[in-house]
Amino acid sequence: MKQLPKFNLILIACCVLIIVVGFALMTGEPSGATEYNPDIFSFRRITVGPMMALAGFVLMIVAILFPKRGDKNDDAKQ
CB 15 within 8 A of CB 60: yes
pLDDT score, position 57: 98
Give the global pTM.
0.81
| Separation CA 21–CA 19 (nearest Å) | 5
Residue 72 lies in a domain: no
Residue 53 lies in a domain: yes
List the beta strands (DSSP E) in 1-78.
Answer: none
**Residue 34 burial (C-beta neighbours within 10 Å; 0-12, 13-18, 19+):** exposed
pLDDT score, position 75: 52
Task: Determine the Cα angle at 55 with ends 54 and 58, to 5°.
Answer: 90
Residues of the chain short of pLDDT 50, as ranges, are: none
Q: Which domain holds residue 13?
A: 6-28+36-66
Residue 48 lies in a domain: yes
Residue 76 lies in a domain: no
Q: Which residues contact 37 (CB under 8 A, 6 or more apart)?
A: 29, 30, 31
Structurally, the chain folds into a number of domains equal to 1
pLDDT score, position 73: 56
